[in-house]
Structure formats: C-alpha cells, structure tokens
Amino acid sequence: MRVVVTGAAGFIGSHVVDALCSAGHEVLAVDAPGRSLAPEVAWRTWAAVAARPGVTVLEADLAVADLAPLTRADTVAHLAGRPSVRGSWGAGRAAAERDNVLATHRLLAECARRPARRRPKVVVASSSSVYGSAGDRPNREGDPLHPASPYAVSKVEVERLAVDAARNGLRTVLLRYFSVYGPRQRPDMAFHRFTEAALDGRPLPVFGDGRRSRSFTHVADVVTATLRAVAEELPSGIAVNVGHPEPVGVHEAIGLLAGVLGVRPEIRREAPVAGDAARTWADPARAHRLLGWTPAVDLAEGLADQIAWHRALRRPETSRPETSRPDAREREVRVG
Ligand SMILES: NC(=O)c1ccc[n+]([C@@H]2O[C@H](COP(=O)([O-])OP(=O)(O)OC[C@H]3O[C@@H](n4cnc5c(N)ncnc54)[C@H](O)[C@@H]3O)[C@@H](O)[C@H]2O)c1
C-alpha cells in the first residue's frame, strides 16, 4: 500500500511512519518542521524519518504548497496540525486556524480533485477536545460537541470539512485521539514536562489544582488504531474515539510517574489553562467494533516506557535513540 503521512516529523506521525515502514508499506512522509510548536525537536525527528530506508520525504507547508504529490496514494494519514489547547489562545489562534483548518481544507480539496477511482482515503487526526469536558459517563461519538478553546473549535471545523468531503464522495475517517503519551511526546505535554522536571530535580509544574483526569492513551495503541483505520474499509465520514476507557487523575498519574522515577515529587502549581477539560473519558466501543481495537498498554507500563526514553536522551550522544541525534537539515530531501 502507498501511504502518505502528514505531520511525519511530529510525535504521533513519526511513530506512524515507523510502523507503516515496518509493515512493508511505501511511505511518503510530509511535514514542514518549521511550523511545529517545537521546531528544533521536529527538525531532529525529520532527519531521523528521512534516514529511514523506504521512506521518501517531502518538506511541504500544507497551507501554501502544491499538494498534488500528496494525492497519489491509497491512503493519506493526515496528522499534521497545530496541537495544544493552551497554545491556541492569543496569537496561537491564527496558527490553529491556518495549520488545522486551512491545511485540512486544502488537502481534502486536492484529494477530491483526483478521478473518483484514484482518490485516496483520508484518515484525519481529530481530538477528544471536541467533546469539552466529559460528564458522568464516557463520551461516545454521537455526543454533542462542546469545544472550549480555539484549538478545539479548529478541530470541530476540521471534522466538518471531512464530513462534507465524505458527502461529496471522498472517503474520510476521523480519529479522535485522547491525551497521547509515550516516547517522543511533545515537550509542551504534561508527562514530558513532569519527567524532565523530575530528572532535573525541579518541582513538577502542574496547571490548576491537578484534579483533572484524562483517558491517557499510549502512542503504541494510537499507532495500532491509526494503521487499522488506514487499511480497513470503514463507513465514510465516521468519527472514531481512540482513547483508553479508564480515565486517570493527574495526581494519580504523578504518583505512578514518581514511583517509576524513584522520586518524591514536589509540585509547583501554575495557573489553570482556559478551555482545559476537567475530565476526558473515552468510550472506545466503536473502535473495538470497527477496528477490533482495544488499548493494550496500561498507564504504569506506558509511563515506564516514556521515562526510559527521557533517560536515553540524557545519555551521551552516540548511545541515544535516533530521534535525538543532531539534525541533518541539509540531508537530501527527495520529493516523491
Ligand atoms: N498528542 C496528542 O495527545 C493529541 C491528542 C489529540 C489530537 N492530536 C492531534 O494529532 C495530530 C498529531 O499530534 P502530535 O501530538 O503528534 O503533534 P506534533 O506537533 O508533534 O506533530 C504535528 C506535526 O505537524 C506539522 N505541521 C504543522 N503545521 C503544518 C503545516 N502547515 N504543513 C505541514 N506540516 C505541518 C508540525 O511540523 C509537526 O511536526 C495533530 O493533528 C493533533 O492535533 C494529538
């Protein structure tokens, strides 16, 4: 299968590229690392992706580039975008609109221009944040949407575009990811910040009172669901929750993290983030029914995996994982 992965220099996208390559698929990896929330990290990951045998890379800003080369595929896994609820306030709002809404609109329109039989299926990354805060039961895909930040609003708009495209004959699938964690997690995300702080001997920076809870979902499980959505025939325009069914409180998660690290955590409270859901809670029944997907990694095991990655980053360069090596920005970029 020929698969295009956008956001390939990102946290989730780079893992999806790895898994597709390992499964023997032909991959065109697309990104504009300069558009990342953490460009220096994205450039390093991009270099590692480009060095992977079997991967062709295309540096392209989806908001402005010619996207025709992205449409010559069986499936496009569209993971590029501007994540983060916190980062979407103020100046971040325009970036969320540009890199989420405009980029998705351009990509879907370009795919729809292909002759009907050659149109790729497009698997689009959405987010649990479209639901707002969960109530006293897990969120199902048919629940009303209550976006509470510019980021969440942009993802609702992304979903609307994908559903419209499906009505007009493009096959689309929306994956609503829930708080993804694991190796290569973005530096702005909670477990990354907590782990780095603990390893430095600093207090852990916690936004608000720490009473929030999340359906934390390990990236390996997210990759499994994404690859199945890439390969399976699914009802077009459908949304699918990709989230662990058991939410865990932030304090409980910190306890697990501290246990793995062998530290007594000191906490530094920071102002709560506007639009941050008090609770996210996934009902993954649809993912189970359509994709045969059930998350396999529990939080204690998944945190140990992420912490091992942070520790490896601190080892001398030669023994570090690939994605932390100095970037090879000058590396030849092959255009597919
Ligand atoms: N990480 C999570 O917990 C989570 C949860 C829900 C949804 N999501 C969604 O999943 C997707 C991937 O998230 P992530 O955590 O890997 O984020 P990430 O920031 O690590 O990856 C996103 C990538 O998109 C690229 N990008 C941004 N704008 C671009 C543009 N205009 N053209 C080309 N590339 C562009 C960035 O350079 C970056 O490498 C995003 O759409 C995000 O909103 C993530």
Cα 262 to Cα 258: distance, rounded to the nearest angstrom: 6
Which three-class secondary structure state does DSSP give residue 111?
helix
pLDDT at 33 over 80: yes
User: Could you identify the atom of ligand 1 that is nearest to the CA of residue 82?
Assistant: 27
324 against 108, higher pLDDT: 108
**Class for the domain spanning 2-324:** alpha beta
Question: Average model confidence (pLDDT) for the chain?
Answer: 93
Cα 277 to Cα 178: distance, rounded to the nearest angstrom: 12
| Dihedral angle over CA of 43, 45, 50, 54, nearest 10 | -160
CA of 233 to the centre of ligand 1 (A): 24
Estimate the share of the chain in helix, then strand, then coil, as percent rounded to the nearest 5.
Answer: 45, 15, 40
pTM for this one?
A: 0.95
Q: Tokens 């999806």 label which residue? A: 16
Q: Counting beta carbons within 10 angstroms of the beta carbon of residue 225, is it exposed (0 to 12), middle (13 to 18) or buried (19 or more)?
A: buried
Could you tell me if residue 292 is left (phi over 0), alpha (psi between -120 and 50 degrees) or otherwise beta? Answer: left
Cα 20 to Cα 127: distance, rounded to the nearest angstrom: 22
Active site residue 151: yes
Tell me how crowded residue 160 is: count the other CB atoms within 10 A of its CB: 13
29 lines ligand 1 (CB under 6 A): no
Cα 198 to Cα 206: distance, rounded to the nearest angstrom: 12
Q: What is the DSSP string of 246-286?
A: S-EEHHHHHHHHHHHHT----EEEEPPPTT--SB--B--HH
Cα 225 to Cα 157: distance, rounded to the nearest angstrom: 23
Cα 263 to Cα 196: distance, rounded to the nearest angstrom: 12
Query: Can you give the pLDDT at residue 304?
Result: 98
pLDDT at 329 over 60: no
pLDDT in tens, 305-322: 999 999 999 988 766 665
Q: Are 74 and 89 in contact (CB under 8 A)?
A: no
Which three-class secondary structure state does DSSP give residue 89?
coil
Query: Can you give the pLDDT at residue 97?
Result: 98
Percent of the chain with pLDDT over 90: 91
Query: Can you give the pLDDT at residue 35?
Result: 98
- CA distances 74 to 227, 237, 240, 258, Å, are 13, 17, 20, 44
Tell me, what amino acid is at 6?
A: T
In this prediction, residue 161 has a pLDDT band, given cuts at 50, 70 and 90, of very high
Cα 231 to Cα 164: distance, rounded to the nearest angstrom: 22
- Ligand 1 pocket, mutate which of 12, 70, 100, 188 (most atoms under 8 A from CB): 12
CA of 171 to the centre of ligand 1 (A): 21
In this prediction, residue 333 has a pLDDT band, given cuts at 50, 70 and 90, of very low
Percent of the chain with pLDDT over 70: 94
Cα 180 to Cα 182: distance, rounded to the nearest angstrom: 7
Question: Domain spans of the chain?
Answer: 2-324
- Ligand 1 pocket, mutate which of 35, 78, 88 (most atoms under 8 A from CB): 35
Strand partners, 28: 4, 56
User: Could you identify the atom of ligand 1 that is nearest to the CA of residue 179?
Assistant: 3
Q: Are 197 and 267 in contact (CB under 8 A)?
A: no
Q: Are 189 and 127 in contact (CB under 8 A)?
A: no
Question: What mean pLDDT is predicted for residues 106-116?
Answer: 97
CA of 264 to the centre of ligand 1 (A): 33
pLDDT at 206 over 50: yes
Query: Can you give the pLDDT at residue 316?
Result: 82
Question: What mean pLDDT is predicted for residues 143-170?
Answer: 98
Lowest-pLDDT range of 2-6, 18-22, 326-330: 326-330
User: Could you identify the atom of ligand 1 that is nearest to the CA of residue 128?
Assistant: 6
Query: Can you give the pLDDT at residue 318?
Result: 63
